[in-house]
A and B are shown apart, each in its own frame.
Chain A
């Protein structure tokens, strides 16, 4: 029943052509897989929460028990899509809101999601 605690990490991407959000997330999972295997990906349960391709910053989420291992895996990333790259974690926080206060990210992923499924006009009432 208890939901697993999570940590949110502010990420800076250094790469000459900026990667797309999908490629970045694939590479994050690949880095974890290389170091800790499929079990590591499962346990760390990484997720790309927000990504600003213009500023090359993003927010990733992982299990709070796997933060150190997640950091290590990201630090050992050297390539994204055959281009040399590096990932730096600037800050970590327990909530997205806390992280966004100190690290404002324009969320390209949310814009894409919104474009795919525009909000309906129907209003939901909660009981």
Chain B
């Protein structure tokens, strides 16, 4: 599912130029067209191929489509995404039932073990991420051993003005080591709400590479892994999909 690249490092060689970079977590303000245009322009300029646009469930479908159109005008592919922040298991199950069919990608923010264990097991969940306000900086107890659900790290958590960089860096470093110990794939996203909190894909990879992730894995975390998540979900939401490995094939007329 999550193929690995054949590159040697962050600088890369010929193969590296073929990487298609993905930022699965952009949070543009739906009413502010100028801000959306700035983000779309910058995303295209710094080398992204696909953007995951996160919206609240209250945002109308027209508004979502308008935002996506502004990104598509810049030559980017888009997927819609929702971030769920459930208080308990039941709320997560209810929310998943409601929103799964309306969004391409469903991500769940985990702050307690009960929610995390369900989020990592449920096939309707695509990504799991952890709250930056969580007092504990270890994630070991929240990550199950037998899961292939990718864990997302948002670079915006490191760029907060109200905190010094050290707690954020410690959290990121622990996340990397805990995810590696549990063999969970990592996805790096910006989590940007405006253009100044966006970062270039190789720069995001460099941050986690400095914190202990291998260079190739760090690049995969902004390219192959999020791209395969997006493609898989777009296929699932397509008209031909029935189940994993089964699809409708119409004979040619």
- Structural contact, B202 and A72, CB atoms closer than 8 A: no
Whether the Cβ atoms of A34 and B165 lie closer than 8 Å is: yes
- Check B196 against A71 for contact (C-beta < 8 Å): no
Q: Which residues of A contact B47 (CB under 8 A)?
A: 90
Indicate which residue in A67, A68, A90 contacts B200 across the interface (CB closer than 8 Å).
A90
Cβ–Cβ contact A86 & B207, under 8 A? no
Known contacts A68-B215, A88-B203: does B159 contact A76 (CB below 8 Å)?
Answer: yes
Q: Chain A residues near B42 (CB, 8 Å)?
A: 14, 88
A85 at the interface (CB under 8 A from B): yes
Q: In the bound complex, what is the Cα–Cα distance between A68 and B10 (angstroms)? A: 7
Does any Cβ of A come within 8 Å of B108's Cβ? Answer: no
Q: A82 vs B18: C-alpha distance in the bound complex, in angstroms?
A: 38
Instruction: Decide: B196 and A85 in contact? CB cutoff 8 A.
Output: yes
CA distance A51 to B74 in the complex (A): 27
- Which partner residue on chain A sits nearest B42 by CB separation? A14
Q: Mark B91-117, 1 if CB is under 8 A from A, else 0.
A: 000000000000000000000000000
Chain A residue, CB-CB nearest to B206: A71
Determine if A69 and B210 form an interchain contact, defined as CB atoms under 8 angstroms apart. Answer: yes
Q: Which of B10, B45, B158, B165 is A71 in contact with, Cβ under 8 Å? A: B10
Let me know if A20 is at the binding interface, CB within 8 A.
no
Q: Known: A71-B206, A72-B207, A76-B159. Contact between A14 and B196, CB under 8 A?
A: yes
Nearest chain B CB to A36's CB is how many angstroms away?
9
Q: Is B139 an interface residue (CB 8 A)?
A: no
Interface residues of B in 145-180 (CB under 8 A from A): 155, 158-159, 161, 165
Contact A89 to B11, CB < 8 A, known contacts A68-B215, A72-B210, A75-B155: no
Alpha-carbon distance A86/B204, docked complex (angstroms): 13
Residues 166-222 of B contacting A (Cβ, < 8 Å): 195-200, 202-204, 206-207, 209-210, 215
| CB-defined contacts of A90 to chain B, threshold 8 Å | 46-47, 200
Nearest CB of chain A from residue B28's CB, rounded to whole Å: 16
Given known A75-B199, A89-B202, contact A68–B210 (CB-CB < 8 A): yes
Interface string of A4-19 (1 = CB under 8 A from B): 0001000010100000
CA distance A58 to B200 in the complex (A): 16
Whether, in the assembled complex, A35 has its beta carbon less than 8 Å from a beta carbon of chain B, the answer is yes
Across the interface, do A35 and B165 meet the contact criterion of CB distance under 8 Å?
Answer: yes
Per the bound structure, the CA–CA distance linking A72 and B202 in Å amounts to 9
Across the A-B interface, the 4 shortest Cβ-Cβ residue pairs: A75-B203, A71-B206, A72-B210, A72-B206
